[in-house]
Amino acid sequence: MDDRKLTPTALARIAGTSAPARPRPGRPIPFEPLPRLTPSAPPAWITHETTKPSVAERLARVGVFALLAAGWLVFASWWVIVLSRESIASLGRAAGLLGVILVTCTVLMLAWTRYNMWVARRGKRGQSSLYIPMEWKHDTLGRSLELPAAGVAQTASELRVVIRDGVKAYVVAREGTL
């Protein structure tokens, strides 16, 4: 493809340069015509054999569980110290403060949500969130797109991307060719 066919990005147009939309990759991209039919090896971390863990692995697991148990014991012991030193009145005030914070957050969230719904119903969202419809005429490399009918594309089990004469075509794959 000729780089002159690429359209510059919006930022490049603002800056006054004619940089292409995206640089080309330095190496060729491998293409598999039928990737579903090409067998691939399972990842290296998957082993089908069940191996017995070594002594070091067992010791590591026991050590991790011991550290977790010690951490929870420290947590519980500090709460025992806190609860033994504090009065019921101070615990009630703390619980009341947490309740007030929770109610305040809930009321503010509901008010903000209702305000956003009110703005959306009015349909005038200001200049910052104008709806700009997507134009599906070209891809990021500037190639023309040929799309199937919307109903056919939405119900198809598989779409294939084929490049014909510089046009990127999305073709519905037939069930017999899968």
Q: Is residue 37 part of a domain?
A: yes
Q: Is residue 1 part of a domain?
A: no
Q: Residues 10-28: pLDDT tens digits?
A: 655 565 655 555 555 566 6
What's the DSSP call for residue 25?
P
Q: Is residue 146 part of a domain?
A: yes
The rounded distance, in Å, linking the Cα atoms of 63 and 57 is 10
Q: Is residue 99 part of a domain?
A: no
How confident is the model at residue 77, as a pLDDT? 95
* DSSP-derived 3-state class of residue 171: strand
Q: Where would I find the H helices in 53-157? A: 55-85, 88-122, 150-155
* DSSP-derived 3-state class of residue 138: strand
Tokens of 173: 């794959």
Q: Is residue 36 part of a domain?
A: yes
How confident is the model at residue 5, as a pLDDT? 54
Average pLDDT score over residue span 105-114: 96
Q: Is residue 173 part of a domain?
A: yes
| Residue range(s) defining the domain that contains residue 37 | 17-48+135-178
Pick the closest to residue 20 from 41, 1, 47 (CA basis).
Answer: 1
Rounded to the nearest 10 degrees, how much is the dihedral formed by the CA atoms of 90, 95, 99, 102?
A: 110
Residue 49 has pLDDT above 90, yes or no: no
The rounded distance, in Å, linking the Cα atoms of 3 and 19 is 10
Q: Residues 92-101: pLDDT tens digits?
A: 999 999 999 9
The rounded distance, in Å, linking the Cα atoms of 163 and 167 is 5
Phi and psi, residue 145, nearest 5°: -110, 140
Average pLDDT score over residue span 34-53: 66
Q: Is residue 84 part of a domain?
A: no
Q: Is residue 171 part of a domain?
A: yes
**Count of domains forming the chain:** 1
